[in-house]
Amino acid sequence: MISQEPQESFAVPRDATAPVVRVRDLRKTFQPRSLLKIGQPVLAVDGVSLALPAGSTLAVVGESGSGKTTLARMIMGVETPTSGSIEFFGRAQPRRMRTRDRRAHARVIQMVFQNPYRSLDPRQSVGAAIDEVLRLHFDLGRQDSRARTAELFDLVRLSPTRLDALPRELSGGQRQRVCIARALATNPRAIILDEAVAALDVLVQAQVLNLLADVQEQTDVSYLFVTHDLAVVRQIADDVLVMWSGRVVEHGCAEEVLDHPEHPYTRLLRDSVPRPGWKPARRLMDDGPASPEHA
């Protein structure tokens, strides 16, 4: 429970050349909650390791239930890992995150949640939501904070006239951009985007992806892109990590993996993307206990 780390533990990198995030052999089992503790524990993430260097984009792909969101939530400190370690610039994440740890953590890594409709307080204007984050992390006066909020709005190409709007007065794409602006507010070194564009239509999706690329160019931020959409992966990712039932089945350069997938599951994922002349194939692999190596 007691962490000996000083207050600003995450803010000062122990090793600036180390990757922003390094995950080693991360494991998470969910114990079924029942009175008699009957039922098999669910192994959601099984020995995942990854490294996210500064200024790069890593895509984590896999179908629903493959453990990619649990992985993201553990890195974010929302879920406690069963075993394994997570490091930020070579500094380990405490096992139990207290408010102070979270605050320091938020200056290194931020997350854009899956659902843009529900990750903003419905009764708070979007400008106030960002303003609040700025004032929590920085010693800013009212004027400065407001100016910075407007700047962030500009960065995600939202009109400053929308600052006083409530989330429900905005479209899905606009809301997601507010969430991205909020994630950028602390000048983080990495952002986790959990299916951040999945709920958006293709036009808005392209806009948001371009925007993310621009921001990366300007600020050298890293992205951990959790998605099931291989087209998105091709457009944005440097590296890709393919997950299947909690395990990493393929890991490498995005182009390489997408053009010449080695693992049958990656091939299946790739071939399941609709394209001209595409016919839906029957599943080559089933969800049974068979390991993907022998499929």
Partner 1 sequence: MSALVPARPRLLRRSGGGTTTAIRCFGAFAVLLVLLAVCAPLIAPQDPNVGDVLSVLQPPSSQHWLGTDASGRDLFSRLVFGSRTALLGPLVVVLVATSVGTTLGVLAAWNRGWVDSLIGRLFDLVFSFPSMLLALLFVTVMSPGLFSAALAVSIAFVPAVGRLVRATALREVNEPYVQALRTQGFGPVAVCLRHVLPNVWPVIVAQVTMSFGYAMVELAGISFLGLGVQDPTADWGKMINTGQGSIVRGFPQESLYAGIALVLAVVCFISLGDLLSERRDGGPR
Residues of this chain that interact with partner 1 (CB under 8 A) are 76-78, 99-100, 102-106, 110-111, 113-115, 118-125, 132-133, 136-137, 161, 164-166, 168-169, 179, 182, 186
CA 115 to chain centre: 12
For 233, the 3-state DSSP assignment is helix
Of the pair 159, 291, the CB lying nearest partner 1 is at 159
Least distance between partner 1 and beta carbon 169 (Å): 5
Alpha carbon distances (Å) from 50 to 134, 223, 236, 246: 30, 13, 18, 14
d(CA 248, CA 246): 7
Of the pair 179, 200, the CB lying nearest partner 1 is at 179
Least distance between partner 1 and beta carbon 175 (Å): 11
- Token pair for residue 22? 């390094």
CA 62 to chain centre: 14
In eight-state DSSP terms, residue 177 is H
d(CA 62, CA 244): 6
Position 132: which residue type?
E
| HEC-encoded secondary structure of 14-33 | CCCCCCCEEEEEEEEEECCC
Of the pair 161, 218, the CB lying nearest partner 1 is at 161
Residue 44 buriedness (CB in 10 A; 0-12 / 13-18 / 19+): buried
Of the pair 225, 244, the CB lying nearest partner 1 is at 225
> Under a CB-based contact definition with an 8 Å cutoff, are residues 49 and 58 in contact?
no
Q: Which residues contact 270 (CB under 8 A, 6 or more apart)?
A: 230, 258, 261
Of the pair 48, 134, the CB lying nearest partner 1 is at 134
What is the number of residues in the chain? 295
Least distance between partner 1 and beta carbon 171 (Å): 9
Least distance between partner 1 and beta carbon 186 (Å): 8
Count of other CB atoms within 10 angstroms of residue 284: 12
Task: Give the closest residue to 218 by CA, choosing from 175, 173, 174, 154.
Answer: 154
Least distance between partner 1 and beta carbon 204 (Å): 14
Of the pair 142, 294, the CB lying nearest partner 1 is at 142
Of the pair 167, 261, the CB lying nearest partner 1 is at 167
Least distance between partner 1 and beta carbon 78 (Å): 6
Least distance between partner 1 and beta carbon 207 (Å): 16
Least distance between partner 1 and beta carbon 131 (Å): 12
Of the pair 111, 226, the CB lying nearest partner 1 is at 111
